[in-house]
Amino acid sequence: SAVISQKPSRDICQRGTSLTIQCQVDSQVTMMFWYRQQPGQSLTLIATANQGSEATYESGFVIDKFPISRPNLTFSTLTVSNMSPEDSSIYLCSVDTSEYTGELFFGEGSRLTVL
């Protein structure tokens, strides 16, 4: 398993601003993932962040809107840029601790409200 810490846990932001969410893991992991959970909805994968390479974005998500950093094997950031009310969501960081076990472990999430 892994212990994942996300900051901030929640924030209220103004339209047009940007916010960076941090994700810290207590062990080295190869693959980190960022998910979005819109109000009352399921989780949607934004991108996969691997250390030492560019993040891989899913359809509908672009780097200019959601830039991701992965400077080392225990840390990643997701920035939500030029925010609008439609970006109000919970953003969750998750990690894959083993390519053989399959399950992901999740942080508590960062709840963003954009006014």
**Least distance to another protein from the beta carbon of 74, Å?**
18
Tokens read off for 113: 């409200």
Strand 10-13 to strand 110-114: parallel, antiparallel, or no bridges (unpaired)?
parallel
**Residues 5, 72: Cα–Cα separation, whole Å:** 15
Q: Which stretch binds another protein (CB under 8 A): 13-21, 22-30, 39-47, 72-80?
A: 39-47
The answer to the question of residue 45 lying near another protein (CB under 8 A) is yes
**Least distance to another protein from the beta carbon of 41, Å?**
7
**Residues 98, 86: Cα–Cα separation, whole Å:** 34
Q: Are 74 and 28 in contact (CB under 8 A)?
A: yes
The answer to the question of residue 103 lying near another protein (CB under 8 A) is yes
The answer to the question of residue 59 lying near another protein (CB under 8 A) is no
Work out which of 13, 88, 104, 113 binds another protein, going by CB under 8 A.
104
**Residues 71, 60: Cα–Cα separation, whole Å:** 24
The answer to the question of residue 111 lying near another protein (CB under 8 A) is yes
